[in-house]
Amino acid sequence: MSTENELFSAVDALLEQVAQDDLPAPAERKRLREVAGLSQAQIAAALDARREAVGNWESGRTEPRPPKRAAYARLLEGLAARFPAPDADVPVAAPAPVVPETVTSPAPAPEPTSGPVPEPTSAPAAEPTPAAPVAVSSSRPAANSTTTRSSNATSQRPGAKKAVAKKTTAAAAAADPRFENGPLAVIDVDEGGQVSAYCVGGLVLDVPAKSIPALVDWTLAEARLGQARLHRNGRDADPILVLTASALERYGLPTVLSEEERRASRLPDSHKVVKQIAKAGLQLTQRGFGPWARLFRAPEGARRRCVQLCVLPWNALDAREWDRKDAPQLPSMHPADLAQYLGLYAQRVMTPRGTTATTGLELMVALRPPTRAEKDPADGEFKRALNADALTQVYDMVECEVPDEHPVLKGRFARHHQRTPAEMLLEEPYDWCRPLTDEECMVPYLVAVDINMSFAAAANGLTVGLNGPTHLTGNPTFDATLPGSWLVDLSHVDLSRVPVNGRTVDGDRLPSPFTPKGDRPTGPAWYATPTVAYAVELGFEVAPVEAYVRTRAGRYLDSWYKRLRDAYVVTMADMGVTTDLGGSEFLEAMARRKDVDPAMALLETAIKATAKGGIGKLRQRSRGQVPYYEPYPALKRETWRPDIRAAVLANQRVGLHRKLMKTAAAADLYPTSIGTDAIVYPSPGPSPLDILPHTPEGRPVPGTFRLGVSPGMVKWQGTRTVLWAEEQFEERGEVFNIANLIKTDPSAGEGE
């Protein structure tokens, strides 16, 4: 005979089952909570649920599951008794049908493929066509093989139903309905074995897929994930699925790669999941199944069918770029929070495409697509045409502009030969330090300031070459409007002879603007156009010996800079650091920003890494994929442009030097070391406010370093004592660059 407790348990189970069908309509749930003066967070705490889940229950996106459903029903029943609706006929949700609510939509309208050539395949260009509206139905859809599989999978769980994204803002209402669930989802498996897709905004979708191929097909057919193109001639972003460790286990993938797999950065073709993918008719790109795997089917007309997987446990989101190096947060972050973080990055920058460096480069292409659809007047057909303001093809490389392993250098130099400045374009950021003077040793502090987003700021307004090189010989006349590389002798430039605002400066205490180490040039060397133009600006004559220039030029990086600038400024504002702050208010806001919103602090890191890495990708080095001097994959890209990278770095360095000169002239203040974009000054006090020059009215002196959040302005990086610096020099027995060692915030600096 059953005990009393067993009988009660059986009755409770029945009550829970009955509770599946007795919840008020979503709007009434929200009304009852609000009229009672309760917050979603309070209800979530009482039910041991997430606040986002309560929001989903009130919007009708999802339904609570046992045992929370019975408790939620009891709460609503009690509130309804105390706060009856003004209308006695308050609607009550009908019993949940066996087949859950389903979102149905027509096939997405064809989209033009006039943007960058897709990695998986190519398709003929099509005329841009507006996306067809998406029909949302809460009734049972007409049966077909796809919806039947999905419905059967979800109907096995009482009360389960597909989530339908609600438009809660004007911006969301205007979003592309094909991607109403956002750009990406985090795939996770709960303790009960339910696979869920956590989307932006707290939305959670039930995932019926039992294998990786099925997961890809579900994403393409039902998930409504992706992001609309950033440029009318570009292409829509493929949906991203972030796989957690529990998802890897569910789909038969290892949570930890072997040593050999880590070196190859992919699973072997013999792995059972890779075989499943091939058997299902899906294809992988040449990178294979690695941390950032791309799976696709052949396009349907002009519509791409591609899904990208971001495998979290395989270090797809490197802590140096996406997280905190000293205390990583992503491994333990809730899937909903991770989706929100990456979704916000996608909204403000773009859908991630791999590392932040890869994404930074892809952002350039997304904003300046190389091709467009153009109607041929002869036959009326749309064909691909090149865009004049973009990088459209791979050109011959210039010997002086390429790194040592480039195939064009094969047979030119002895192995391990160190190319000289007259043989190689050496446009790099500053790495400079000098001994302190006796007077500076009497000052108590060394204060480091750091330039915000310095590489991105240097790209703003910069004219770069868009076509191949033209070789100029016979002592060509320098032309600052022609981007490229110039062989010229700048050893005669003496900074002590340069008047700045009617004053001259001590050139011995300033680095040369023409070399990364700050040494004065000793003879002819290759320089990018911004460097030679700066020598002319300083008042010196230049006489190039030869040059490689680009006759078609443009401000290719302007839109890229603006996108990253806006993302950075908005993210900093979310942490309380706004553009109207100055002086001590700015310093205080910067000091507390990471405590205000740790997730926004991670986003700040990712945005800065995107800017820095995107410029670096323009001259991507070989990673050992092929032997020395053999072509490596990056060289096949139209965006492999070392001359553009050199121009940005040259502009960054001379722009920094220009401010050094203005500061020296205004306040007789000289740096002791510079590391990329971190500048160290001797100071009587520990704050940047103790050194940065101001006018009698209290404003920053024009042309000098200015505290602020905008790219190109500076923030405080850290302060150490002069005694500490002397101990460092004594310990090492030499003067070395201490700029990047002076950090109050370990994540500051490092060449933003």
C-alpha dihedral sign at 704, 708, 714, 718: positive
**Which is nearest to 560 in space by CA: 292, 236, 231?**
231
DSSP string, 261-279: HHHHTS--TTSHHHHHHHH
Q: What is the pLDDT, as a whole number, of residue 327?
A: 87
C-alpha dihedral sign at 315, 318, 322, 328: positive
Cβ atoms 404, 427 nearer than 8 A = no
DSSP string, 330-365: GGGS-HHHHHHHHHHHHHHT----SSHHHHHHHHHH
Q: What is the pLDDT, as a whole number, of residue 36?
A: 83
For 682, the enclosing helix (H) or strand (E) is strand 678-683
DSSP string, 276-310: HHHHTT-EE-TT-SSTEEEEEEEEETTEEEEEEEE
Tokens 């406010």 identify what position? 689
Q: What is the pLDDT, as a whole number, of residue 63?
A: 83
DSSP string, 489-500: E-TT--GGG-EE
Q: What is the pLDDT, as a whole number, of residue 469?
A: 97
Q: Per-block average pLDDT, block size 10, for the chain (752 residues)?
A: 51 47 82 85 84 84 80 84 62 34 33 36 35 30 31 31 33 66 96 94 94 96 94 94 97 95 94 96 94 92 89 95 90 94 97 96 97 87 91 95 94 88 96 93 95 96 97 97 97 91 90 96 97 96 97 97 97 95 93 92 96 97 88 96 98 97 94 96 96 91 95 96 91 84 64 52
Report the distance separating Cα 673 and Cα 435, nearest Å. 9
Each residue's pLDDT tens digit, 2-46:
555 555 555 544 444 444 447 888 888 988 888 888 888 888 888
Each residue's pLDDT tens digit, 523-566:
999 999 999 999 999 999 999 999 999 999 999 999 999 999 99
